[in-house]
Structure 1
Amino acid sequence: MGTVHDDDPLLTIGAFALRARLSPKALRLYDRLGLLAPARVDETTGYRWYRADQVERARLVALLRQIDMPLARIADVVGLPGADAAQAVAAYWAEVDERRARQATLVAHLRDRLSGRRPTMFEIRTCDVPEQTVLAERRHLLADELPRWIPSALDRLTRAAAECGGIAGTPFVAYHAEVTPDSDGPAEACVPVTDTRAAEEWAAANGRGSGAVVRVEPAQRLVYTRITKAQVAHPQILSAFDAVEDHIAREGLTITGPCREVYFAEDWDAASATDEVCDIAFPVGRKGATG
């Protein structure tokens, strides 16, 4: 809080509130949040006094609150020198702009979905996938963690596949439950491998530290649609999932396992926004079919 000298001019909370253009209630809140402590507090009455040189900090806190900056970040900004504080505010606002852009895209998706419009037409296809052994890494995570986790997990599993006879199929990510900003899945990155025994030996030796396991995917039929790199982004990808699910319902099929994103692009970074890079797929069976 700093040293208060006897000759420092102190203002009552009412006088300070007028000078800072804030209410006493707001000043008490800032004190409680640790953003602006009074220069002196009467131990008996609890009455607050402020220094005149605290006015600028009080006004800054109020302005940062008006742009919805989180309290923890406000505490950081008000403790920085002017140029650094300006950079911190600019960085925060860039994040706000990015978030609003994503939200605007999501709003457009919601309007189309709720009104029954389907601005993008998806070609629905079917394929049969044989039984395959996969190296898999499962993780509970939220939607904003997926773009970082998916490529790193598939890269780890692809490198491990070299010790398991090599890659035997297209890598994919299976979703065993919803992954959203509020729901953490889990999601499972999978790489098919050639040699089941070698994979089991590798997992026994390395799986505990890496989190990777070996399992056998049964033979199954997939209903899927192929999407471009631009459509992989959220929420565009949701339209692809909806299109496949709608087709499955219309055809009288039932979903028999977790949905998946099948990543077949040979060089993701080199792919353009219009290049097809991924399949959105659901394993299916006929309603009422048994074993």
Structure 2
Amino acid sequence: MNDGVDSDVNDGANDGVNDGLLTIGAFAARARLSAKALRLYDRLGLLVPASVDEATGYRYYRCDQIERARLVALLRQLDMPLATVAEVVAAEGPEAVGVLTAYWAGVEERVAGQRTLAEYLRGRLSGRSSEMYGKFVVETVDVPEQVVITETRHTLVEELPAWIGASLGRLEEAARVCGGVTAAPFVVYHAEVSMESDGPAEACVPVADEAAARAWAEEHGRAWAVRVRVEPARRLARTRITKAQVAHPQIMAAFEAVEEWIAAEGLTPDGPCREVYFADWEAAGAEDPVCDVAFPVR
């Protein structure tokens, strides 16, 4: 009696074929997979044998399963997690293509972020910070007075991306009853946000109707920790960065580049730094500009 682990040598037939079915050894050779991988894929339901001998535990496969096996092998060469592989092989046609496309977009976004981080670290480690900062184009822009609805939170850096997306989403939804959004949303950092420091950070959405905004804040402020304030007209020193550059810590290079430019130009910081999100985050690719890193100056 076999315990369920097939023998690649004594596989039930000398030529690897038994009653029109391929033994695991023969199937593995044709599918370009190891017998060990086939056993794993069986346990996970990715590639179930056509038949298992009750007496010996030997697994047998049909020839028409070879294509699925090769597909699994190719998907794994993309470092695709087994759960995602299962989604692809369970889908058909355009749906399978969609799962693969979504997975690969995530890979490219992650690699772009890692590439940016590597560049940031090379500059740090080599002492060539000025050369690194020179890659950022910094300019000034005048921003008029704005009425903003805001949500403030103390948050550490690992929680920051999720909170920014959620809070700006809530505020943009609320803006519908406040005359609509009038300018790009932004996040103000009133103190450092890092692995050790929790800010606070303030998510802000400019709106058209101050009276409606104050009525909305009166109704929701206690539950949502929101308020309405008037952001004064400001001159901002800013640099535009891509989606890949937004991730921490590589975004710090952009903040430092703007600070260095401000000092070189003889300007004075005039308020807390901020990130202005002017693009559709979900639709943007890793190399698309999505955010302005900015400091108020005078």
- Same structural fold, with TM-score higher than 0.5 when normalized by the shorter chain: yes
Deviations 1:52-104 (A, max 9, x none): 32222111111110112232221122233456545654554455445434443
Find the partner of 2:227 among 194, 214, 218.
214
Q: How far apart, in 2, do the equivalents of 1:59 and 1:98 lie?
A: 27
> Matched residue of 2:33: which SS?
coil
The residue type equivalent to 2:216 in the other structure is W
Report if the CA contact (8 A) 2:52-2:58 is conserved. Answer: yes
Q: How far apart, in 1, do the equivalents of 2:210 and 2:105 lie?
A: 48
* 2:242 is equivalent to residue 203 of structure 1: no
**Counterpart in 2 of 1:155?**
172
**Counterpart in 2 of 1:71?**
82
Unaligned runs of 5+ in 2: 1-17, 141-145, 281-288
Which deviates more from structure 2 when the two are superposed, residues 241-250 or residues 17-26? 241-250
Check 1:243–1:75 CA distance in 2 against 1; reply closer, same or farther (3 A cut). Answer: same
Check 1:145–1:72 CA distance in 2 against 1; reply closer, same or farther (3 A cut). Answer: farther
> Matched residue of 1:205: which SS?
helix
Check 1:215–1:203 CA distance in 2 against 1; reply closer, same or farther (3 A cut). Answer: closer
**Counterpart in 2 of 1:12?**
23
> Matched residue of 1:114: which SS?
helix
TM-score by length of 1: 0.58
**Counterpart in 2 of 1:235?**
245
**Counterpart in 1 of 2:41?**
30
Percent of counterpart pairs with the same letter?
Answer: 50
The residue type equivalent to 2:65 in the other structure is Q
Find the partner of 2:64 among 53, 62, 67.
53
Report if the CA contact (8 A) 1:136-1:189 is conserved. Answer: yes
**Counterpart in 1 of 2:238?**
226
Unaligned runs of 5+ in 1: 1-6, 126-131, 270-274, 284-291
RMSD across aligned positions (CA): 5.3
Aligned length: 248
What is the CA distance between 1:25 and its match in structure 2?
0.7
Q: How far apart, in 1, do the equivalents of 2:121 and 2:162 lie?
A: 19
TM-score by length of 2: 0.57
In the TM superposition, 1:138-153 aligns within 5 A as: 143=161, 152-153=169-170
Check 1:207–1:48 CA distance in 2 against 1; reply closer, same or farther (3 A cut). Answer: farther
What is the CA distance between 1:208 and its match in structure 2?
7.0
